[in-house]
Amino acid sequence: MNNISKKRIIKIVGRSFALISFLMMASCDPDETQTVATFDKLVMQDEFDTDGVPNSALWTYDIGTGPNNDGWGNSELQYYTDRPENVTVENGYLLITAKEEALNGSNYTSARIKTEGLFEQAYGRFEARIRVPYGKGYWPAFWLLGNDCDQNAWPQCGEIDIMEYLGDMPTTVFGSAHGPKFFAENAISKEYVLQNDRFDTGFHVFGIEWAPDYINYYVDDVLYQQITKEDVLEETNGEGEWVFDHPFYIILNVAIGGDLPGSPNTDTVFPQTMLVDYVRVYQK
């Protein structure tokens, strides 16, 4: 990756608390009104400026094929490692690389890093600048998981997917929320379609602004979805529960195959890398 030219743009995120109407510049319909809060205090950042392993004060690893050896509950095909072949920091980027290789019964390897036990926060703006791979079977994601999953099994602990991407849909990403009565294929979710561009050919900023009663989803500062407590009740006929009221931790990973993207095909190129320019978290 030595030929990658790094261009860093530092932005202070500050928005006045208001109800706004906005025109979406994407092929998905926005909600008519959105609540936007000010999150301008930077409380966590990783700019990936030191080559080598990810910062151990912020990141740890998930290893293997899941606690039940079931492909992390999604029939995924990769074996996650902490090897530098799969996860490293180089030239100002975090690199998570998926490879086609046999390891411990799996035919693919990749990496999944997380801030569990190291950085966990309720509410704020969470954002990352990312470039994703391309091809059938790739399933990279930037997401949050409730820090109480050991006591309250998923989906009771809650999950916020800031960005999910399917490698054979290079113009589309998804933002979702999972909780009791709205999870897996029944998650509350919306897609964002990039116009005249692709997510695998350049970097884009994916973020959420999360407050006690709503979550706003952004791509490159375009607000394309809001999920509220009222939405959860409406989508679940009053049976859902708003579980986004406690600290969550950050996860970055590249899965291969599984229930959502399907398996790689003969046109899928390996290895490929998800590059992360930075991760930043703000509070009010």
**Residue among 90, 164, 230, 241 flagged as catalytic:** 164
Phi-psi map region of 57: left, alpha, beta (phi>0 left; psi -120 to 50 alpha): alpha
Rounded to whole angstroms, how far apart are CA atoms 190 and 222?
14
- Least Cα distance to 72 among 283, 276, 251, 272 occurs for 251
What is the distance between the alpha carbons of residues 46 and 276, in angstroms, rounded to a whole number? Answer: 10
Which residue, 223, 152, 143, 221, is CA-closest to 187? 143
Are 222 and 209 in contact by the 8 Å Cβ rule? The answer is no
Taken in order 54, 57, 59, 65, the sign of the CA dihedral is positive
H and E: helices and strands count for the chain: 1, 20
- Share of the chain residues as helix, strand and coil, in percent rounded to the nearest 5: 5, 45, 50
- The active-site residue out of 85, 159, 185, 234 is 159
Annotated catalytic residue 159: yes
- Strands 222-228 and 248-256, by their bridges, are unpaired
Residues 120, 283: Cα–Cα separation, whole Å:
12
Query: What residues contact 216, with CB distance under 8 A and at least 6 apart?
Result: 34, 35, 36, 208, 209, 210, 223, 225, 226
| Residues with a known catalytic role | 159, 164
